[in-house]
């Protein structure tokens, strides 16, 4: 399989990395039976048009005005005919999109702010508002097209935020902001999540939920779109989801295990990657070729747990994207704990060595992660590779 052309959008800061020889050989190299089993790689999925906004997502100019402390004021409540106009959107008689203006747009911006955005509620549907709408739609399992119709409006709960009290419409006593700004509740799957053909997953995670843990809004937005499309295509029936952000420096935690149903992050860990001949550099090269020594981008699915002579417990990974990662099993790219020298370097100064393609972790936590995500959960390896983002069937 020829290697994929790639055009990285950014280069993270360099680390103290050296080659840690291990895995990607023409034949078995792990002493592991489970990894040798290769599932058929399949593409598929459908979804909203996310790619057009991906490279500039969450930038924009629609920022909330600063209050006395320099933080967004976050004041809620429509002005004028906001409630009546929003009712038309909820009822399906009015649609909002890029360029729309008026009280209904102002109400939309208020609701988006209650769900984690920082927009100026000025009634002008600009690019920043559109990006916030796409993020909300993605997090709630909707078609991420940036257009607000009945379905998106009803996902907010269908009710406009109450107007600020005045002598005409309510009591004049001072009311705490929290009474007007109760955030919209995330949808819950009654009785636990079950895969049903044709029904989207109920995802209780929003793009901004785990920024403090190191998982950016941009990456999680893409990852949630990929998961939704894979779920609809029947690639998994489990709501545990691993996201690896290879665009981050190796010294950062960049492997995240999420429970999308519970809305929780279960693990945030350091992880090795392979750079092939680019030894010592940050992750710029990715490949699907056997013998390349490089990591692969895209969506994969976990298989069985194996036991290797050198690295102990390991987990088979089966690439689901032809041309991008469908050689993972044949290359014996598996998840496992890193070796002794890597552990010593990590303990000494936080250095994370290179692998030859495997997502290897600190052995003190690798076993727990493997046992948690084994047996058919999805793993998404992200890198801002333009060809992948454009051509993958799961990203849009």
What's phi and psi for 258, nearest 5 deg?
-115, 140
CA distances from 171 to 80, 164, 226, 367 (A): 18, 10, 48, 59
Confidence (pLDDT) at 318 = 94
Digit-coded pLDDT (tens) for 335-389: 998 888 777 877 777 777 667 778 989 989 999 999 999 999 999 999 988 899 9
Per residue of the chain (396 residues), give pLDDT as tens.
Answer: 444 444 444 433 333 333 333 434 443 345 454 444 433 333 343 334 443 433 333 343 444 333 333 333 333 333 446 788 888 888 888 999 999 999 999 999 999 988 878 899 999 999 889 888 888 877 777 777 888 988 899 888 744 444 333 333 333 333 232 223 334 444 444 346 677 777 889 999 988 889 999 999 999 999 999 999 999 999 999 999 999 999 898 889 999 999 999 999 999 999 988 766 555 554 456 776 777 778 889 999 999 999 888 888 999 999 999 999 998 888 888 899 888 877 787 777 777 766 777 898 998 999 999 999 999 999 999 998 889 999 999 998
Other residues' Cβ atoms within 10 Å of the Cβ of residue 186: 15
Pick from 260, 226, 255: nearest CA to 240: 260
Yes or no: domain 59-180 corresponds to CATH 1.10.101.10? yes
Yes or no: domain 34-49+207-391 corresponds to CATH 2.40.440.10? yes
Please check whether residue 318 is in contact with residue 41, taking contact to mean a CB–CB distance below 8 angstroms. yes
Edge-to-edge strands, sheet with 264-269: 264-269, 255-259, 240-245, 378-382, 298-308, 312-319, 334-337, 360-361
Confidence (pLDDT) at 267 = 96
What string of DSSP letters covers 201-259? ------TTTTTTTT--HHHHHHHHHHHHHHHHTTS-S--EEEEEETTS-TTS--EEEEE
Burial class (CB in 10 A: 0-12, 13-18, 19+), 191: exposed
Please give the structure tokens belonging to residue 136.
């909300």
d(CA 312, CA 362): 12
Please give the structure tokens belonging to residue 184.
């919209």
pTM of the model: 0.55
Confidence (pLDDT) at 56 = 38
d(CA 225, CA 389): 12
Confidence (pLDDT) at 36 = 41
The domain segmentation of the chain, as residue ranges, is 34-49+207-391, 59-180
């Amino acid at each position: 399989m020829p290697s994929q052309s790639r055009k990285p959008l950014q280069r993270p800061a360099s680390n103290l990395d050296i080659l840690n020889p291990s895995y990607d050989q023409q034949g078995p190299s792990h002493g592991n039976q489970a990894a040798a089993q290769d599932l058929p790689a399949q593409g598929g999925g459908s979804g909203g048009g996310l790619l057009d906004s991906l490279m500039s997502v969450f930038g924009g100019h629609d920022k909330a005005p600063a209050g006395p402390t320099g933080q967004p004021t976050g004041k809620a409540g429509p002005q004028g005919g906001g409630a009546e106009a929003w009712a038309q959107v909820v009822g399906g008689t009015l649609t909002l999109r890029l360029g729309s203006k008026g009280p209904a747009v102002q109400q939309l911006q208020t609701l988006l702010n209650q769900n984690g955005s920082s927009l100026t509620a000025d009634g002008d549907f600009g690019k920043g508002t559109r990006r916030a709408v796409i993020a909300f739609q993605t997090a709630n399992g909707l078609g991420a097209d940036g257009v607000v119709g009945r379905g998106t409006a009803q996902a907010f709960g269908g009710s406009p935020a109450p107007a600020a009290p005045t002598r005409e419409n309510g009591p004049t006593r001072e009311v705490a902001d929290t009474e007007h700004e109760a955030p919209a509740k995330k949808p819950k799957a009654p009785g636990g999540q079950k895969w049903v053909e044709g029904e989207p997953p109920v995802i209780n995670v929003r793009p901004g939920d785990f920024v403090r843990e190191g998982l950016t809004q941009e990456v999680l937005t893409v990852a949630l779109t990929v998961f939704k499309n894979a779920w609809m295509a029947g690639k998994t029936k489990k709501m545990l989801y691993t996201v690896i952000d290879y665009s981050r420096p190796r010294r950062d935690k960049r492997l995240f295990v999420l429970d999308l149903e519970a809305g929780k992050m279960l693990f945030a860990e350091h992880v090795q990657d392979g750079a092939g001949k680019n030894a010592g550099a940050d992750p710029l090269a990715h490949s699907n070729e056997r013998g390349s020594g490089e990591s692969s981008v895209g969506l994969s699915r976990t298989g069985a747990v194996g036991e290797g002579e050198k690295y102990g417990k390991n987990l088979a990974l089966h690439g689901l994207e032809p041309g991008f990662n469908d050689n993972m099993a044949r290359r014996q790219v598996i998840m496992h704990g890193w070796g002794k020298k890597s552990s010593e370097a990590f303990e000494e100064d936080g250095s994370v060595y290179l692998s030859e393609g495997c997502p290897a972790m600190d052995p003190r936590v690798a076993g727990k992660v493997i046992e948690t995500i084994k047996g058919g959960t999805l793993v998404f390896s992200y890198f801002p590779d333009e060809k992948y983002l454009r051509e993958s069937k799961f990203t849009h």
